[in-house]
Amino acid sequence: MSKIKVGIINVTGYAGVELARILGQHPEIKLTSVTGRSAAGQTLAEVFPHLANLNLAITTELGDVDFAFSALPHKESSKECLPLIQGGTRVVDISADFRLKDPTAYPAWYGFTHPAPELLKQAVFGLPEIYRSRIASAQIVANPGCFPTSAILALAPALKAGIIEPEIIIDSKSGISGAGRTLTLSTHFSEVNEDVSAYALDGHRHLPEITQELNLLNPNQAVKVTFIPHLVPMTRGILTTIYSTFKTGKISRGKKKKDELLTLYRDYYKEMPFVRVVDFSPHTKYTLGNNNCLIHPTTNPGGDKLIVFSCLDNLVKGAAGQAVQNMNLMLGFPETMGLEAPAIFP
């Protein structure tokens, strides 16, 4: 029995190389092709010495594969994926190009006209905890952004249960690798080390994606999201802190409330292997290199606010790990296959 041949388009960014790391250990597929642009012609080991064991050359063209991941930036990704899709290859796209259902969102938020708006309906938003069965049969899976993953998972049980008002504050803290491998002053070590700052104050591109999905969770109520991302001086990890207000009478007052919240969240995620609802303040460090998302729902001393903390590794559950989780569902493998390794701590 020959293994399924899998390829990665643009292996040289952080999502791409993390895909290669995870796929290289997957027991049921074979990573046979990885592409890059400036690095084409080099071996993967030359560019990423930690992957020397994979023995792969970086090429310009993907070649013959059974399944493809795209880790290209937005706009370029859809352009390169289209021929594959038309040829029948199943694709997980890590870029934003198939995440938004509304084609007009692309010129507005990403500055380009979508080349195949008819595919947006067909593509499935690749958050397995919400869309597991649809992912299984999809041809195109749009892998969610790192911030949206942390925010949607933190809010889904509360929105589904209808216990919160539509005003939602999402304050996210991200490690620097989220900004990618492209050289910029805002990822230059001496400028961001020993520093915290907010960015994208005029609206981060993940906002329409968050809003779209939160609204789908509870179509009776349009959310009003304020989302501010911050950069913190560490390589990996996102902690998202969410503030919203309970609807009156939807959840008990007093000490029981925290237990009710834990129960609500644990019930919601009881079949989801990568979401851990915890009764303590989660640390990003508990997810380093691992596909888990830790969620802690709680309330303020006054008891009128829902406060949720969620944390994950932005390159794993926030990108490559989730992409492999999607692949597992699409190919009928156990959802956790190749993703079982615990976090590296400390």
Enumerate the active-site residues.
Answer: 146
Q: Do residues 345 and 330 touch, judged by C-beta distance below 8 A?
A: no
> Site for a second copy (CB under 8 A): how many residues?
80
Q: Which of residues 205-234 bind a second copy (CB under 8 A)?
A: 207, 224, 226, 228, 230, 232-234
Q: Name the token pair of 98.
A: 């198939």
β-strand partners of 35: 59
302 lies in the binding site for a second copy (CB under 8 A): yes
Q: Rounded to an integer, what is the distance from CA 182 to the centroid of its chain?
A: 19
Given 92, 123, 153, 294, the residue binding a second copy (CB under 8 A): 294
- Contact at 8 Å (CB) between 20 and 44? yes
Which residues are within 8 A (CB) of 197 and not within 5 positions of it... i.e. 6 or more apart?
Answer: 230, 231
* Nearer residue to a second copy within complex by CB, 64 or 304: 304
Q: Please select the residue that binds a second copy; options are 243, 247, 266, 337, rule is CB under 8 A.
A: 243
Cα separation, 50 vs 132, in Å, equals 32
Neighbours of 298 (CB within 10 A): 16
H-run or E-run covering 93 = strand 90-93
Pick the closest to residue 180 from 98, 326, 73, 99 (CA basis): 73
- What's the min distance (Å) between Cβ of 10 and a second copy? 16
> Phi/psi of residue 64, each to 5°?
-85, 110
Residue 346 touches a second copy, criterion: CB under 8 A: yes
Measured from the CB atom, is 66 or 165 closer to a second copy? 165
Beta carbon of residue 1, minimum distance to a second copy (angstroms, whole number) = 21
Select the residue interacting with a second copy from 36, 282, 297, 318 (CB under 8 A). 282
CB of 233 to a second copy, least distance (A): 5
Q: Per CB under 8 A, does 160 bind a second copy?
A: no
**Window 84-123: residues binding a second copy (CB under 8 A):** none
Under rule CB under 8 A, residue 203 binds a second copy? yes
Q: Do residues 284 and 111 make contact, with C-beta atoms less than 8 angstroms apart?
A: no
Task: Determine if 201 is a binding residue for a second copy (CB under 8 A).
Answer: yes
Q: Which is nearer to a second copy, 52 or 271 (CB)?
A: 52
